[in-house]
Structure 1
Amino acid sequence: MLYIPESSYEDHITYKIKKGDTLLSVAKDLGIEPSLLRSYHNLFCPSLKDLIAADFPYHLEYLILAPEKLELTDEEKEKSRKKVSRNDAPINISLNNAVINNTYGVLYTIENGKHVTTIKQEINVTWKAKSENNFYFFEISRIGNIYINDTKASTMAEEIGEKSSAALYPLILVVDETGEWVDIHNFNEIKERWQDIKEQISHYYKGEQVEKYFSIYDKNLEDSDTLYLSLLKDWFLNAFFNGIHLQYPSSLSIQKEISFPFMGKTENLNYQVNQVIDDHFDVDNFLVIDINGKLDDERTKTDFERILNLPVKEYSAEKVSGDYRAKYFLNPLKHMPEAVFVSCTLALDSPQKYTVTISNLNDKAEMSTKPKHELFVEVVQPKKKWWQL
């Protein structure tokens, strides 16, 4: 049943979720890929708690649907999309106009075999400054509580972990021209905050678990380098600042290596990927970047099983396969993400999949109803650059 409910979803076409519905069953009934159904809903849903992970949250009443999926033919959809470049010239995706103050709903999904864990939080990203040598400064702030499997942190370990991690925010990152973060600007402030928070925690909690967290954070905050190395494991920072701000050739495609963290205290996973700009803006006038690739790692199946504390039946020197997939929906004026989807897999006996979904929560209703804005991309010519409609 499709209709407009009297709620915050009123600006969208929705599907009323019935008892027994799953993401897979609804996708099958509507003839839409589950990943597309999930990503569109997560892009426009008005609340962090309504983000869809492996399946619908238990409380979710309405699923937001893309109107084009229901009203336009494939040919009509293609005609409605504007071309990114009209002359097949190289395109520069830059941070020069990245003046944002956006709050994002962030969903992490960890699939270990059939066991699924979800973590939800809100993160604000604010542009702060640009240096003379073309480095950009962004402030990262965590908002509100962290929800694990749709439940606010409740155990002592979860509460201590959440309070400890709060010392990191606001975090001011230094980002290079390619869009990768390369340094931490406010380390001394963070270290001072940690001493205050550590003292506060000590008033309420005692014992081995508390000392364990203190030891971890003390070690990570020994100096700016140790903090930088620890934050290289942060999924949000790796997904959001992922080196997509580059000059793309006329083919709009770049071959590169991407490193992404996964569970376990070890080096990040390396993937050989193809990073491509879609040659048309999408139906919502977002600039789309697709990244797809394969695992390029020398570690064996047994190595990964031991790292992840999985059962090791017998030693195996077999190399592990895995996929990397990412999709970025960028504001065409600022070249900053409106939505991000990143997924990494490892093909073990107990399959591993880690997914990060990031969705701009600012002005969701207006995004779907306001008139289409003008579209700009920087087109690169041998001796000249200009902004082209």
Structure 2
Amino acid sequence: MVSADKEYVKIRIDGILDLEEISRGYEMTSEELIEFHNKHCALHELLTLTLPKYVEYLYIPEKAFKKQESNQLKSTKLDLPNTESTKVYGVIMKFFPKELQLHYKIKIKRKQNRVELSKEKTFVNNQEVDKIVEQIFEKAEQALYPLKVIIKDNGNILRIDNVEEIALRWRSEHLPKIREYYVSEVANEMIRRLDIALGDVNKKLDLLFRNIFYKLFFLDVYLSYEQFSKEGIFDIYFSGLGREVYYKAERIINKQYTSGNKIVLEIKGQEQEDPLNIKSTKGQIELLYKLHKETREIFSINGIISTFEKAIEHRIEFQLYELNSQ
């Protein structure tokens, strides 16, 4: 229960008063809060700094209360962005122990639950790709974009919406050129697999989600978070190991917006025990999402995901940040 007057707001206190925590939340010192409270409260409600006690109500300056209220989430439910926008993001991914870095820009056009992605050239360790395998993948990937997807209410991809368009681009524009330029037994096998995948992308969505960008950008973050938290299982594909790793993690939404008016979602957890592969050291997942206050669109993602194989750490460092929007 909250009651207001012209100068102060009475907030209900449940349990023992944690003066330090409450004063910090209202950007006041404990002394300032006690002084203000004692100035407006009844005689039996007087407080001292040295003796924390049970008190039913605390008197807060109205301005401090309104400021804190404006900086707090009003709901524990994050809704899928229901807006139209065009944003460009920078993406940096680092893979260890290979010490491999990939970076590129990607444009995201959103119209409610429809998203169109257009990706620019990938750079490997700040250089253009030069290995044959990388070149084939880079050229084949061009057929994928623009990629149009339909999004579920929770943020996951429901399906690819332009499958036929992708298949046509691949088989009419890109496949003939790749076959002509890359001639070898290894290249032929790669091209055969790419032809199957790009022929119907919806049937190979699992391959798309092996890409850490798609896994994290389209993670199911738009959910209800009771008590501002939620536990869940996450699966992340490690290309260097050729398998998925599972993590039990807690998602925590910060109750307050950042100074830049962003919603903060933290995901922290530990690798699940594999009975067939007992490890002395377990990997970790630590992700930090920042979402725009008004639209809930992603502003940035930063994090580290790790696992261990034969005592060697395999780690993915991921950064995504908004460059500009239209």
What TM-score comes out, normalization by structure 1 length?
0.62
Residue 189 of structure 1: how far off its partner (Å): 1.0
Do structure 1's residue 347 and structure 2's residue 308 form an aligned pair? yes
Residue 227 of structure 1: how far off its partner (Å): 2.3
Q: Contact 2:73–2:255 (CA<8 Å) still a contact in 1?
A: no
- Of 75, 93, 102, the residue aligned with 1:119 is 102
Cα distance in 2, alignment partners of residues 151 and 87 from structure 1 = 44
> After the TM superposition, which residues 101-112 of structure 1 pair with which residues of structure 2 at under 5 Å, given as runs?
101-112=86-97
Residue 165 of structure 1: how far off its partner (Å): 1.2
Q: Contact 1:90–1:252 (CA<8 Å) still a contact in 2?
A: no
> After the TM superposition, which residues 42-53 of structure 1 pair with which residues of structure 2 at under 5 Å, given as runs?
none
- Matched with 1:194 is 170
> After the TM superposition, which residues 158-177 of structure 1 pair with which residues of structure 2 at under 5 Å, given as runs?
158-177=134-153
Cα deviation, 1:79-105, whole Å, max 9, x if unaligned, reads: 89x657788864221124342211110
- Matched with 1:254 is 230
Structure number with larger C-alpha Rg: 2
- Matched with 1:53 is none
One-letter amino acid matched to 1:126: K
Residue 325 of structure 1: how far off its partner (Å): 0.8
- Of 210, 219, 229, the residue aligned with 1:233 is 210
Do structure 1's residue 219 and structure 2's residue 196 form an aligned pair? yes
Structure with more strand by fraction: 2
CA change 1:260–1:108 in 2 (3 A) is: same
> After the TM superposition, which residues 1-389 of structure 1 pair with which residues of structure 2 at under 5 Å, given as runs?
83=68, 90-112=75-97, 115-128=98-111, 130=112, 136-143=113-120, 145-195=121-171, 196-249=173-226, 251-264=227-240, 266-298=242-274, 300-301=276-277, 317-318=278-279, 321-348=282-309, 349-362=311-324
Higher alpha-carbon deviation: 266-275 or 168-177: 266-275
Residue 200 of structure 1: how far off its partner (Å): 1.7
Cα distance in 1, alignment partners of residues 225 and 188 from structure 2 = 49
One-letter amino acid matched to 1:118: Q
Q: Secondary structure, in 3 states, of the residue corresponding to 1:327? A: strand
Cα distance in 1, alignment partners of residues 239 and 193 from structure 2 = 17
Cα deviation, 1:298-354, whole Å, max 9, x if unaligned, reads: 2644xxxxxxxxxxxxxxx54761111111111111101111013211133221101
Q: Secondary structure, in 3 states, of the residue corresponding to 1:191? A: helix
One-letter amino acid matched to 2:154: T
Residue 166 of structure 1: how far off its partner (Å): 1.2
Q: Secondary structure, in 3 states, of the residue corresponding to 2:154? A: coil
Residue 162 of structure 1: how far off its partner (Å): 0.5
Cα distance in 2, alignment partners of residues 101 and 325 from structure 1 = 28
Residue 223 of structure 1: how far off its partner (Å): 3.3
CA change 1:78–1:245 in 2 (3 A) is: farther
CA change 1:267–1:78 in 2 (3 A) is: farther
Structure 1: tracts of 5 or more residues without a match: 1-74, 131-135, 302-316, 365-389
TM-align CA RMSD: 2.9
Q: Secondary structure, in 3 states, of the residue corresponding to 1:339? A: strand
Q: Which runs of 4+ in 1 moved over 6 A?
A: 75-80, 84-89
Cα distance in 2, alignment partners of residues 358 and 259 from structure 1 = 19
Q: Secondary structure, in 3 states, of the residue corresponding to 1:362? A: strand
Cα distance in 1, alignment partners of residues 228 and 261 from structure 2 = 18
Residue 197 of structure 1: how far off its partner (Å): 0.3
Structure number with higher relative contact order (C-alpha < 8 Å, ≥ 6 residues apart): 1
CA change 1:285–1:77 in 2 (3 A) is: farther
Residue 180 of structure 1: how far off its partner (Å): 1.3
